[in-house]
Every structure is written in structure tokens, then in C-alpha cells.
């Protein structure tokens, strides 16, 4: 299998974590989807990473769908909780994780625009979504070690990659430290989420899939 991925990507990270948890061998091909030499359009009509090229040559894209595909073809160990109620709860965590991640991505793109074109109202709106989504995740998760059913599930991969990405952005991009540490203060507001992610980050799969910084030339796509 070949995973085409972007080094800092939280979307790619959750797929890498699933591959490692399931002990599926794979090669990785790094790509930057905004650069001219990207290969994304060759594989994915939506021109986004991550993309999984399977042993059989099937091309699978969209991180949540890749996780479902892996679960279907490699069910052991399962990353799906046992009961229907738990599965529904897992979906809710996925909805919240994807929603928070969408808002983070919108902020990143807004910051990449020339300063005079940036909208403070838009940024505030996205920050409210991030703070609101994290508050809800914190409320539902409480002091549990795993989001659902006392075992690692796709919910943990989803939320874990979002929280890990917030830490990563704050550590690697000084401009975002202010935004994600001072303004949102999720670790101060939700110490339970801090404990939760610190614990997940100890897993070998999370460590081996740690995000890495790359130089991205957003100017080629944003004017």
C-alpha cells in the first residue's frame, strides 16, 4: 500500500495511525497539494490528500472514508465500538472533530491572505466554532481515557489528530501560538482534554505518525 500524504496533515495523520494500529505495511509518499508538482489531481478529483493506493491498485481518498475502507478490509483489531449506541457516539465525536478541523483550516487560509484582505469577523466566527466544538468534546468525554467504550476507536483518531494539530500549530508557527494558545486556551479551559491527548500521544502509533513541518507556498493558490 502507498499513502500519499502531506507532512503536517492531521487528516493524513489519522490514516497513518490506523495503518499502524492495524499493523498494515505501507510506503509513504510525501506531497504538497498546493504546489505545481503535486500528483493529487492524478488520483483524486477533489485534489486533496491523504490518498491511499491499495495493493490491488484501488485509489481511496477522503480521510474518513479511508478509515472506513481500512476497517472494512482489515477489521482486526477493530477501531469500531461494539454496540450501536457507542457507534452513534463515535460518529458524534467524528462530526465534532471534523467541524473543529474545518474551522482551523479556514483560519489557516485566512491568515495566508494579504493582511488587508483578512476578515476579523470571519476569524472570530471560526474561533467560536473551535472553542465551541472543543467545549462539547470536553463535556462529552469527561475524564475517560478513550472517547467511547473504553477502547481506542476512530473517535480517538479523529479527536486526537485535531488536538495534536492544535499543539503542533502552536509549537511550529509562532503567529498561531497566540491564536491557539492565548485566545482559545483549550488546555487551560479543558484540562481533561490535555490529559486525554497527552495519554494518546504516548501510543507508538501516534508517535510514529507525528506531524512534521514543511514550507508551503500558499501564494500559488491564494491571491
Ligand X SMILES: N[C@@H](CCC(=O)N[C@@H](CS)C(=O)NCC(=O)O)C(=O)O
Of 113 and 189, CB closest to ligand X: 113
Binding piece for ligand X, criterion CB under 6 A, among 5-13, 120-128, 189-197, 204-212: 5-13
Least distance in angstroms from the C-beta of 187 to ligand X: 23
Interface pattern 59-98 for ligand X (x via CB under 6 A):
---xxx----------------------------------
- Locate 160 and state its grid cell: 486526537
Give the span between the Cα atoms of 129 and 164, in whole angstroms.
17
DSSP sequence for 188-215 = HH-HHHHHHHHHHTTSHHHHHT------
Of 6 and 205, CB closest to ligand X: 6
Give the span between the Cα atoms of 92 and 95, in whole angstroms.
5
Give the span between the Cα atoms of 189 and 135, in whole angstroms.
8
The answer to whether 103 and 94 are in contact (CB under 8 A) is: no
Judged by DSSP in three states, 158 sits in: helix
Decide: is 49 part of the binding site for ligand X (CB under 6 A).
yes
Judged by DSSP in three states, 5 sits in: strand
Give the span between the Cα atoms of 105 and 10, in whole angstroms.
10
Least distance in angstroms from the C-beta of 194 to ligand X: 24
Q: For the chain, how long is the longest CA-to-CA vector?
A: 51
Least distance in angstroms from the C-beta of 69 to ligand X: 12
Of 52 and 200, CB closest to ligand X: 52
Decide: is 171 part of the binding site for ligand X (CB under 6 A).
no
Interface pattern 94-133 for ligand X (x via CB under 6 A):
----------------------------------------
Least distance in angstroms from the C-beta of 68 to ligand X: 12
| Residues forming the site for ligand X (CB under 6 A) | 6, 9, 11, 33, 47-49, 62-64
Amino acid at each position: 500500500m502507498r499513502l500519499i500524504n502531506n507532512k503536517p496533515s492531521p487528516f493524513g495523520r489519522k490514516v497513518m495511525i490506523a495503518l499502524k494500529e492495524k499493523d498494515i505495511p505501507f510506503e509513504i509518499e510525501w506531497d504538497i497539494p498546493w504546489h505545481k508538482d503535486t500528483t493529487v489531481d492524478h488520483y483524486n478529483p477533489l485534489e486533496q490528500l491523504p490518498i491511499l493506493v491499495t495493493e490491488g491498485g484501488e485509489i481511496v481518498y477522503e480521510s474518513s472514508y479511508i478509515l472506513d475502507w481500512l476497517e472494512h478490509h482489515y477489521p482486526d483489531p477493530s477501531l469500531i465500538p461494539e454496540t450501536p449506541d457507542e457507534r452513534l457516539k463515535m460518529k458524534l465525536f467524528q462530526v465534532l472533530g471534523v467541524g473543529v478541523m474545518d474551522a482551523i483550516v479556514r483560519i489557516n487560509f485566512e491568515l495566508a491572505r494579504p493582511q488587508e484582505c483578512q476578515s476579523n469577523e470571519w476569524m472570530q466566527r471560526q474561533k467560536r466554532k473551535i472553542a465551541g466544538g472543543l467545549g462539547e468534546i470536553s463535556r462529552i468525554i469527561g475524564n475517560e481515557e478513550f472517547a467511547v467504550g473504553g477502547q481506542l476507536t476512530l473517535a480517538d483518531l479523529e479527536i486526537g489528530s485535531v488536538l495534536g494539530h492544535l499543539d503542533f500549530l502552536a509549537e511550529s508557527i509562532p503567529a498561531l501560538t497566540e491564536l491557539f494558545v492565548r485566545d482559545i486556551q483549550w488546555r487551560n479551559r479543558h484540562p481533561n482534554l490535555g490529559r486525554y491527548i497527552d495519554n494518546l500521544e504516548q501510543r507508538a502509533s501516534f508517535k510514529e505518525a507525528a506531524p512534521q513541518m514543511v514550507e508551503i507556498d500558499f501564494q500559488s493558490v491564494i491571491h
